[in-house]
Amino acid sequence: MDTARAARAHIIWTSIALVFILIASCLTYVFMSKVHGCQAISTVNVSAIESMFSRKSFSREQWLLTARDYNTNNYLIWEDEWRGYTDLHESILDQSNVSMVIQEKGVYLVYIQINFQLHPQKDKTSTELKILVDFGFDGKKELYSAAHDTQNVSVPYHEAKLNTFLLMKMQPTSQLSVKVFPSECVNYTPRPFSSFITIVKWADNW
């Protein structure tokens, strides 16, 4: 079973690396421009990202986390897919498995993908999907909308995907958590592309 999970993790990581390289050149998402420790950007240098994935030694600041459940406040509960596969790897998660705590100062590429399994509801023809990111640093916390969509649900079973790229400047002890709506409809079933977050240190600074 460990071998299967390791293989699945490597498949996901390889796919995400390719997505970063292909999409990074047109990244225009502006995020958290007024949050201390974060800065908005308009584009990402593709050659820099290609260099990041081709270099022989990676920073230990890289994680792949899969959603396993949610708590009463609709925050996702995560599981570290890579923890235990290398002796040096330590989990980024806090004790609640809700918040990710950054250890190294730097600029990070963050990709969040949430898969929803939707069903028709009485007196409603559409369902709002939301990803909210809770960012904390130096004792302050701010909740920001990272992605939003509205899906028309007219069949008994409808699957929808919501995702977002973020480029964030973070400090040691910066904390990141993800809130989703509707949390009860998130697909938590493990598979190569279910509901997950990947975080990679891109540079020491920008």
Name the pLDDT band for 12 (thresholds 50, 70, 90). Answer: low
d(CA 144, CA 91): 24
Residues 70, 82: Cα–Cα separation, whole Å: 20
The confidence band for 186, taking pLDDT boundaries of 50, 70 and 90, is very high
> What average pLDDT does the segment 27-52 reach?
42
Give the pLDDT of residue 59. Answer: 55
CATH number of the domain at 2-203, out of 3.40.50.300, 2.60.120.40, 3.20.80.10, 2.40.110.10? 2.60.120.40
Q: Can you give the pLDDT at residue 100?
A: 95
Instruction: Inform me whether the pLDDT recorded for 78 exceeds 90.
Output: yes
Percent of the chain with pLDDT over 90: 40
Residues 6 or more apart whose Cβ sits within 8 Å of residue 59:
104, 106, 201
pLDDT of 22 > 50? The answer is no
pTM value is 0.72
pLDDT at 20: 52
Q: How many CB atoms lie within 10 A of CB 93?
A: 19
- pLDDT of 99 reads 95
Give residue 152's pLDDT: 86
CA 27, 31, 34, 38 torsion-angle sign: negative
How buried is 174 (Cβ within 10 angstroms: 0-12 exposed, 13-18 middle, 19+ buried)?
A: buried
Beta bridge partners of 37: none
